[in-house]
Amino acid sequence: MPKTTRPLTEVEVRNAKPRDKRYKLADGGGLYLEVLPGGGKSWRMKYHFGGKEKRLVFGLWPEVSLKDARDHRTDARKLLVNGQDPSAVKKAAAAISTQDAETFELVAREWQDKFKPKWSPAYADKLLRRLEKDVFPFIGAKPIRDISPPELLALLRRVEARGAPDIARRLLWGCGQIQRYAVATGRAERDVSADLRGALSPIKVKHHASLTDPKDIGALLRAIDEYGGNPQTIYALKLASHLFLRPGELRGLEWSEINFDAAEIRIQAHRMKMREQHIVPLSRQVVALLREIHQLTGGGRFVFPSELTPSRCMSENTVNTALRRLGYTKEEMTGHGFRSLASTRLHEMGYNSDVIERQLSHCERNGVKASYNFAQHLPERRKLMQQWSDYLDGLKTGAKVIPIHGGKAAIE
């Protein structure tokens, strides 16, 4: 007669003690409890499929009770009756479960957590809020590998339709970064955002108001020299024309960032929009201006401290207010416009575009390049900044300045 197996009881399962070697307690129908030397108790099932002996693991007791293990055994035997391998079915279900868990939102939040230390808190918060408002409600719950270009385009066009084409483009960039991260980590096959190039409506770029005619620039420089306002404001206006930093970078300039011996400013990454260190070579004229203002504010932290609170830097409205007092409207000239002024003139004068863009801190957002971009084209930039200051001096005195292609300007 075939040997029969008496079903286990809860008490037997609970009281099973570990031994020097693992052993089994059979429950019948292929189900058994394997007791490990370390004290763990694992539910397993032995079965045959395709002429081979196989095993299933149901989990550890007590997380998986005796009743749960028997239910798993019943399900497995039903699959066998239907000609299916329980192990293969279990692996397929696990793969689907993993794929479903790797949703766009899950990968997006993981991506943001990884890279937000490189961003400003304000930028990181703004990016997450945009994703939560315009992206997650539509594709956030979907496996990232299953998202199609039309689905991504549909949500971006919703943003465009409410009159926010610039935000739509920023979201396209962000979704592309997230998808490339998913590809790199094995959660997606490719970045589908690449298929949407040219699919969004073109937007009209709004440039900061600035002067571009050399005669007008010369008149502005003379007006700054004659301005009767606060000396710090005068120096800020003069340096803005020579350095073409962003307004926040200029007014927040610290004496610790200035190296007179090396004739350069090194602004640390946390103060830069692009979150990487930026080098500004100093012309002879700029060094002279900085030495002059050092006599006024050199005892403190900031080159341009606030008049009311010296522990803080100059107000963001100071330079624009001074320009208004000089008679320039916001449609004619702004503090940020000094950057546009320099960029326009230098490009028209034939300077190397890569050198200009690097000095403007307009750099490609490439993670590998970011480690050395701050010093890129530095010898050429030193020449550029000196020639730019010489060019401004010529405009201010009213000399005739003749642009020469190749990065030089002659003054008659």
Q: So what's the pLDDT on residue 260? A: 94
Q: Name residue 391's beta-bridge partners.
A: none
pLDDT at residue 108 tops 90: yes
Q: How far is CA 67 from CA 47, 61, 193, in A?
A: 19, 11, 49
pLDDT interval class at 255 (50, 70, 90): very high
The mean pLDDT value for 316-328 works out to: 90
Q: So what's the pLDDT on residue 340? A: 85
Task: Write out the two tokens for 206.
Answer: 């709004």
Residues forming CATH 3.30.160.390 domain(s) in the chain: 10-99
Between 354 and 318, the more confident residue is: 318
Mean pLDDT of the chain: 84
214-411 is classed in which CATH architecture?
A: Orthogonal Bundle (1.10)
CATH of domain 10-99: 3.30.160.390
pLDDT at residue 366 tops 50: no
Place of tokens 């937007």: 203
Q: So what's the pLDDT on residue 407? A: 44
- pTM, two decimals, is 0.50
Task: Write out the two tokens for 373.
Answer: 């971009």
Q: So what's the pLDDT on residue 224? A: 92
Place of tokens 């039309």: 150
Q: So what's the pLDDT on residue 405? A: 40
Return the CATH class of domain 104-196.
mainly alpha
Q: So what's the pLDDT on residue 281? A: 92
Instruction: State pLDDT tens for residues 43-92.
Output: 999 998 888 888 888 888 988 899 999 999 998 888 888 888 888 887 76
Residues forming CATH 1.10.443.10 domain(s) in the chain: 214-411
The mean pLDDT value for 145-159 works out to: 92
Active site residue ranges: 246, 273, 336, 339, 362, 372
Q: How many helices (H) and strands (E) does the chain have?
A: 16, 9
Instruction: State pLDDT tens for residues 386-409.
Output: 999 999 999 998 755 545 344 444
Residue type, 229: G
Q: So what's the pLDDT on residue 12? A: 92
Between 273 and 397, the more confident residue is: 397
Residues forming CATH 1.10.150.130 domain(s) in the chain: 104-196
